[in-house]
Chain A
Amino acid sequence: MLLSGLKRVGILLIGVLLATSSYAVTVQDSKGTFTIEETPQRIVVLEFSFADALASVGVKPIGIADDKDKSRVLPEVRDIIGDWQSVGTRSQPSLEVIASLKPDLIIADISRHEAVYDDLKKIAPTLILPSRRETYEDNLKAAAIIGKAVGKESEMQARLAQHETIMSDFASKLPNNALVQFAVARADDLFLHTDDSYAGGVISRLGLQMPKTERDDTASRQTSLEQLLAVNPEYLIVGHYTQPSIIEKWQSEPLWSVLQAASNEHIYSVNPNIWARCRGVMAAEHMAQDLVNIFTEQ
């Protein structure tokens, strides 16, 4: 007891010493070199994937741009970070609220927040990384950078290594080369997430195959029933944003049964928020778990 207590104090002391001595960490972000002088304690993140990266090394952000809907953050992430202050929408976060939180690090998304990058820098050091439209590999790279910037480089490396084993473990439970397609459905439209998308990257990482389409320059594409027939996946994983969605409409059509996935009853629904919005180390593991559940239940 006493010993472990002493040990903890010792580690803390070393931590404090390290922090007060020249801590300065330098990483490469989307705008060049980013240097932070002290270990950040009050972090505001403007995308879900950044919250995921922080939570996977036990760091709790104080503010998240969560579209004012806490349920959009991955449940596993919520369990770790507890409560936070919402700073508005991801597309137009409120800079006043961010400033009022007095952060010492802001993590922003290059595609959404480049226009306010200069303003954010006036509030606090700002790490700007790709998030929206990122691939699975991009996301892991961003997580490694975030780990380094918040002074948890070794923890993050360990967590990423653990992630690799978890994913490989999941992959071993999944059949090789099954053709899996993820799509999100609304009342009147269906969007396929292709190879380039985040979900596509996770599916490939798990040793499953994505159906090849002739043109893959967009990560998400609207699809008619006819085009879905051309893609014809063995497994169709659907995130329904609305219920009933277009899938129910299509099910009543005679051509629907021509789909492999439909005739073999290999159509499954998942949480669209986790599959299409969250992105991140833990989100990928959640998605992998979903897939393993799907494949073992059948």
Chain B
Amino acid sequence: MNTPIKSLSLGILLCMGLVLLSWWNLFAWSVVPVTGLDVWHAVTAFDSQVIAQRIVIDLRLPRLLTALLVGAALAAAGTIMQGLTRNPLAAPSVLGVNAGAALGMALVSTLPAFYGAFSTSIAAMLGGGLAWLLVMLLGSAWRMGGNDQGRLVLAGVAISALCAALTKAVVIMEEDQAAGVMTWLAGSLADARWQSWSTFWPVALVGLIGALLLTPALNLLQLGEDNARNLGINLLRSKLLGSLLVLILVGATISTVGSIGFVGLIVPHIARLLMGQDFRLFLPVAMLLGAGLVTLADTLSRAITYPMETPAGAILALIGAPFFIYLVRKRTL
């Protein structure tokens, strides 16, 4: 059904759409007037005297690049998670990673005892990693035999609730911090700059390449535990590698832009719908789609309460949660 030509043309179409979207993102809904032409000039013939062009280069471009890479990273993380657990509902936000990261971040930024113990990004990664570990243990997702999808999701919800309750407890005591922490929790790209980009892209890129290399193993895993073992793949190694990749991808994202949810849940499903079950084909498409989705959300984040900004993560959650409901309804659990 998926002839190479069809796949190729779909890929080209997606890339073109992404370029258009990116261009739009660079100038749409600017408080300081920026036009599409300014963007063109800024990229081709940069003139540092024009404020609009400096905004494009200094603020918008790092923001766009971060959005693209964040989207790709989260989509890849979601795809790996769903492949590893063979659970269509698996995604960082569903399985507690985001809530755990939020708790870590809230702890270091509000409790004096934790001030300066870690940077907020390290705390976020630690928190997210721990939460996920717990969820996987509780949901017995490591043992591939039992295909207990409900249990995994309920474990994720319980751990998320636990982290969220503690986060709220910490935040509520520091009244003046609440708005700031809430924005961070929702995930916003407004503060993405070249500086954060320079530490973000190498890590994310390693994660993305690793994810692409893992696709053959993911394909085999879908055949079931025993079959995969018979075909000679090292189950334990693949699972550990996959989990490590997820942590790298999600951790890098969370520490750069905060906790953005639902991209990892939605995008793999759309990609699978377009490309079929082969991970080698649909993972790249998922990455492209993820990049597009986050860029779109970032553009909207400036539009909804213009001239103020709404965190992109809040918009993604509004789109993502109904999709989650749809997914649940579609499946026979």
Q: Which residues of A are interface residues toward B (Cβ below 8 A)?
A: 67, 89, 91, 184, 186-189, 191, 213-215, 218, 221-222, 224-227, 229-230, 241, 252-255, 258
Contact = CB atoms under 8 A, between A and B. Distances in A.
B58 A255 contact: yes
Interface of B: 30-32, 51, 54-55, 58-59, 109, 120, 175-177, 179-180, 183-184, 190-191, 193, 195, 306-309
A218 B55 CA distance: 26
Contact of A229 (B55, B176, B184): B55
Main secondary structure of the interface of A (DSSP, over half): loop
B191 A224 contact: yes
Given A188-B191, A189-B180, A224-B190, A230 B308 contact: no
A226 B180 contact: no
B308 A221 contact: yes
Among B31, B184, B191, the most chain A Cβ lie within 10 Å of the Cβ of B31
A246 to B, nearest CB: 8
A197 to B, nearest CB: 14
28 contacts: A91-B175, A186-B176, A186-B177, A187-B180, A188-B120, A189-B180, A191-B179, A214-B306, A214-B307, A215-B308, A221-B308, A222-B179, A222-B183, A222-B309, A224-B190, A224-B309, A225-B59, A226-B30, A226-B32, A226-B190, A227-B31, A227-B309, A229-B55, A230-B31, A230-B307, A252-B195, A255-B58, A255-B59
B32 A229 contact: yes
Given A226-B59, A253-B58, A255-B59, A189 B179 contact: yes
A253 B308 contact: no
Contacts of A253: 58, 193
Contacts, number: 66
A230 B307 CA distance: 10
Contacts of B55: 226, 229, 255
Contacts of A189: 179-180, 183
In order of increasing CB-CB distance, the 8 nearest A-B pairs are: A230-B31, A224-B190, A189-B180, A230-B32, A255-B58, A227-B31, A214-B307, A226-B59
A187 B307 contact: no
Contacts of B309: 222, 224, 227
Contacts of B308: 215, 218, 221-222, 227
Nearest to B181: A188
Contacts of B307: 213-215, 227, 230
Contacts of A254: 54, 58
B176 A241 contact: yes
Among A89, A191, A227, A253, the most chain B Cβ lie within 10 Å of the Cβ of A227
Given A225-B59, A226-B59, A255-B58, A186 B180 contact: yes
A67 B190 CA distance: 33
A248 to B, nearest CB: 13
B183 A226 contact: no
B113 to A, nearest CB: 16
A283 B31 CA distance: 33
Nearest to A246: B191
B239 to A, nearest CB: 35
Contacts of A255: 54-55, 58-59
Contacts of A184: 176
A21 B191 CA distance: 65
A221 B309 CA distance: 9
Nearest to A189: B180
Contacts of A186: 176-177, 180
Contacts of B109: 187-188
A213 B31 CA distance: 10
B279 to A, nearest CB: 37
Given A186-B176, A189-B179, A241-B176, A226 B54 contact: no
A127 B54 CA distance: 54
Contacts of A230: 31-32, 307
Nearest to A90: B175
